[in-house]
Amino acid sequence: MKKMLFRLMILLSISYMTSCTTLVHHADPFYNYNDRDFPRDHLPLIDPIEATRERPSSPWSLELLNVLWISVPNSQVEYPYDLVKELEKFAVKDGVIMAYSSYVNMQADAYILKNYYHWFVMVPSKNVTEGFHTENEFRQYVQTFGIQDPDWQTPDEAFHKFLQTGGCLDWIPDCK
């Protein structure tokens, strides 16, 4: 088994080195493709925000810039959001990161279950993180940044493009 795994790794290394795609080395190393994290995948959005997954078969997650809290009325219970689990789609435009996930932690308090955040906006340059329960609330908020219709994509689509281009995506500063 170890010999087979070793041969597979050699074969993957050779195919990687002979690939037609040249890796881009960005001025900010945050945006560089780093295969040393294998099998963990890294999809850079806006420094320091990235989408990650543990393995190619794992769901993507997105760490929030700041922790968001939902307080349960008439109690001491607060539910923290520090991660968008099972990220389904996202968009990056004009320094704004927008994200959506239908994930709900079924172990949470009943109030939290009814008030779970699904829509997220982060603006790293302004240290802003906001969560929204409905798409309507989300759309109204992003309009304050001049964004009418986010150009949504799945993390898988973006990661595939990131690999195919050698580490470039539309929002990465030195990829224009």
Q: Does a structural domain hold residue 42? A: yes
Return d(Cα 82, Cα 134) in angstroms, integer: 19
Nearest alpha carbon to residue 152 among 91, 61, 84: 91
Q: Residue 66: which H helix or E strand, with range?
A: strand 61-71
Q: What pLDDT does 6 receive?
A: 44
Q: Does a structural domain hold residue 38? A: yes
68 three-class SS = strand
Q: Which residue has the higher pLDDT, 101 or 168?
A: 101
Q: What pLDDT does 88 receive?
A: 98
Judging by beta carbons within 10 Å of its beta carbon (0-12, 13-18, 19+), is residue 62 exposed, middle or buried?
Answer: buried
- Predicted structure pTM score: 0.82
Residue ranges in 18-134 assigned as alpha helix (H): 110-114
Q: Does a structural domain hold residue 1? A: no
Residue in the block written with tokens 């009943």: 110
Q: Does a structural domain hold residue 140? A: yes
Task: Give the model confidence (pLDDT) of 84-125 as tens digits.
Answer: 999 999 999 999 999 999 998 888 878 888 888 999 999 999
Return d(Cα 45, Cα 92) in angstroms, integer: 7
Q: Could you tell me if 21 and 163 are in contact, meaning their C-beta atoms sit under 8 angstroms apart?
A: yes
Q: Which residue has the higher pLDDT, 71 or 118?
A: 118
Q: Does a structural domain hold residue 161? A: yes
Domain with 106, as residue range(s), is 23-175
Task: Give the model confidence (pLDDT) of 11-53 as tens digits.
Answer: 444 344 434 456 777 777 788 877 666 556 889 999 999 999 9
Q: Does a structural domain hold residue 99? A: yes
Q: Does a structural domain hold residue 108? A: yes
**Count of domains observed in the chain:** 1
Q: Does a structural domain hold residue 60? A: yes
Q: Could you tell me if 76 and 83 are in contact, meaning their C-beta atoms sit under 8 angstroms apart?
A: no
Average pLDDT over residues 168-174: 90
